[in-house]
Chains A and B, each alone.
Chain A
Amino acid sequence: TQLLEQSPQFLSIQEGENLTVYCNSSSVFSSLQWYRQEPGEGPVLLVTVVTGGEVKKLKRLTFQFGDARKDSSLHITAAQTGDTGLYLCAGLPGTYKYIFGTGTRLKVLA
């Protein structure tokens, strides 16, 4: 069974702080996606990375795909209360079946 481990599982920080969430696996992925999910809603795609070492930025969010395409990180600069939610990574080992990570639940306090 392929596993995508995310760390930390839970994170509570003050508004304005920086944070990094990690997504690790022993499997190689052809692409990796990051989602944010808010309570009572479905996950919403934030980014897709496909090339080893790739870095993508989305405003205050920076996503990096590991050189070996087995891991990824999400860095948030100057977190805001609107960043609160469940962050999920999802890796694609084949052609269509994404394997979702265990999730990181982030709470940003005002």
Chain B
Amino acid sequence: DAGVIQSPRHEVTEMGQEVTLRCKPISGHNSLFWYRQTMMRGLELLIYFNNNVPIDDSGMPEDRFSAKMPNASFSTLKIQPSEPRDSAVYFCASSLGLRLSLETQYFGPGTRLLVL
């Protein structure tokens, strides 16, 4: 299996522009997570999907952030408009979704976002 696939790997954009990050989870995994990692705040959960349904989006910073999962093999995280403080590494992770306390979350390689 190719693992969790994220694109793009790097994104540089200007403040105010729309940014879309993409994720393909591991086939057969029912749970999908979007995380953000910064030096200041570490790794934070943004949103959690189970069976394509958003279960917890309490970590989404504000209305500028939105996430969708139209099917089991694809998810997007959109930032509109982007701001310099959104600069971070964004990770997508997936797991089987049967018993999360014992499961392995498989992380993608991340998208390194820089907003100028």
Contacts and interface: CB of A to CB of B under 8 A. Distances in A.
Interface residues on B, range: 20 to 34
Interface of B: 4, 31, 42-45, 48, 50, 55-56, 91, 93, 100-102, 104-110
Nearest to B102: A48
A40 B107 CA distance: 12
A22 interface: no
Interface string A51-89: 000000000000000000000000000000000000010
Interface residues on A, range: 20 to 34
B104 A45 contact: yes
B42 A96 contact: no
Contacts of B91: 42-43
Contacts of A101: 42
B contacts with A: majority SS: strand
A44 B107 contact: yes
A48 B4 CA distance: 20
A27 to B, nearest CB: 15
B109 A30 contact: no
Interface string A25-58: 0000011000000001111110010100000000
Contacts of B101: 30-31, 48, 50, 92, 95
Interface of A: 30-31, 40-45, 48, 50, 88, 90, 92, 95-98, 100-103
Contacts of A43: 43, 91, 107
B112 to A, nearest CB: 8
B45 A50 contact: no
A19 B16 CA distance: 46
Contact of A103 (B42, B48, B105): B42
18 contacts: A30-B101, A41-B110, A42-B109, A44-B107, A48-B101, A48-B102, A50-B101, A90-B43, A95-B100, A96-B48, A96-B56, A96-B100, A97-B48, A98-B45, A100-B43, A100-B44, A101-B42, A102-B42
